[in-house]
Amino acid sequence: MVSASLTLDVPKRTFIGAVSREFPDARFQVRSVQSCDGVGIGVVELTAQDPDAVCRAMRRCDTVHTVEVFLRHDDRALIQIEAAQPILLRLLDRTGVPVQTPFEIRDGEVDWTLTTTRTRPSALATTLDRSELEYVLEHVSEHAQFEHILTDRQGEVLDTAIESGYYDSPRQCTQEELADELDLAKSTCSEILHRAEERVIKRFEAGKVEAPSPIRPA
């Protein structure tokens, strides 16, 4: 598996690109996010001098359907945003790369950390290069230690599970669908996956896996 950190420049024509630049000191910490039928839905912790003013600015944006405030206290608010044309989410949907949450948007920039299989980062980079988004690849690191923890078969099943969205929230792939993709019986797939998860979890719990050194692109 590979981890990558990127900083992306959010287009000004998007609501979050415009509003985050209008309030450059505001922090939008995205706790969870998903897209459905062309609509992006996100739960966001907003930190700003005047959260109400930021929410009003978002509601004025044409692509924003709703901004619902769950909690409000001084300079913080927990909100849910529904908006059309979620450019960032469409980008991830096209490449199938899951982004780790929470992630932060501030003053027109978003920081993403991605963990996926070896082949996906290049697909993401190709998609980014063809898009209107400007980005900086901060670092890439490979979890080579997993090769010593898992058998080849366990590694293949675990990689396929990650790539298929089995560990996404919400889950994008059932265990039965995963077994079909791997051409395995469901019980066999379940057993291999369980043993792989057990080995990884126990090794991390024992503190025997060290954090990999970042590999900076040339």
Domain(s) of CATH 1.10.10: residues in the chain: 146-205
Question: Per-residue DSSP letters for 100-136?
Answer: -SSEEEETTEEEEEEEE-TTHHHHHHHHHHHSS-EEE
- The verdict on whether omega for the bond into residue 102 sits within 30 degrees of 0, i.e. cis, is yes
pTM: 0.63
Tell me the C-alpha distance between 104 and 110, whole Å.
6
Specify burial of residue 51 (Cβ count, 10 A radius: 0-12, 13-18, 19+).
buried
Tell me the C-alpha distance between 20 and 44, whole Å.
13
Please give the structure tokens belonging to residue 52.
């109400």
Place of tokens 């509601």: 59
Q: Does the domain made of 146-205 have the CATH classification 1.10.10? A: yes
pLDDT in tens, 83-97: 997 888 887 777 777
- Tally of CB atoms within 10 A around 144: 10
pLDDT in tens, 52-87: 999 999 999 999 999 999 999 999 999 999 999 788
Q: For the chain, 218 residues long, give each residue's pLDDT as a single digit of tens.
A: 677 788 999 999 999 999 999 999 999 999 999 888 889 999 999 999 999 999 999 999 999 999 999 999 999 999 999 999 788 888 777 777 778 889 999 999 999 888 777 667 677 778 888 888 888 877 777 654 545 678 888 888 998 999 899 988 888 999 999 999 999 999 999 999 999 888 888 776 665 444 444 434 43
Among 161, 135, 138, 166, smallest CA distance to 150 is for 161
Among 188, 184, 192, smallest CA distance to 158 is for 192
